[in-house]
């Protein structure tokens, strides 16, 4: 991750965009305070997300607690 001040970001904008295209994240600060981020624009693969959800639902069908209470298991894990 790269962090630059607002003035530097303005003067180096083209080179910062090249870094973002390569996958880097750029944080822009003003007076030492973070005010913005430049991040790569990624397309969301809706079909892949839908497939992953369907696979998780299939996996869940085979999961059994064999009489155990999920609330008791949750509470035991918190101790």
pLDDT (tens place) for every residue of the chain, 79 residues total? 999 999 999 999 999 999 999 999 999 999 999 999 999 988 889 999 999 999 999 888 877 788 888 888 899 888 8
Beta strand extents in the chain (DSSP E only): 2-5, 26-30, 33-38
Cα-based distances in Å from 62 to 52, 53, 65, 66: 16, 15, 10, 11
68 alpha carbon, distance to own chain's centre: 34
- The structural domain count of the chain equals 1
CATH of the domain at 34: 3.40.1620.10
> Is 25 within 8 Å of 2 (Cβ atoms)?
yes
* Domain residue limits at 76: 1-79
Bridge partners (DSSP) of residue 33 are 30
- The whole model's pTM is what? 0.55
């Amino acid at each position: 991750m790269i962090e630059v001040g607002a003035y530097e970001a303005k003067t180096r904008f083209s080179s910062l965009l090249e870094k973002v295209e390569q996958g880097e994240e750029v944080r822009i600060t003003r007076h030492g305070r973070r005010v913005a981020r430049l991040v790569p624009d990624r397309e969301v693969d809706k079909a892949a997300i839908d497939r992953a959800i369907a696979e998780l639902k299939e996996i869940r069908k085979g999961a059994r607690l064999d009489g155990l209470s999920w609330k008791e298991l949750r509470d035991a894990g918190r101790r």
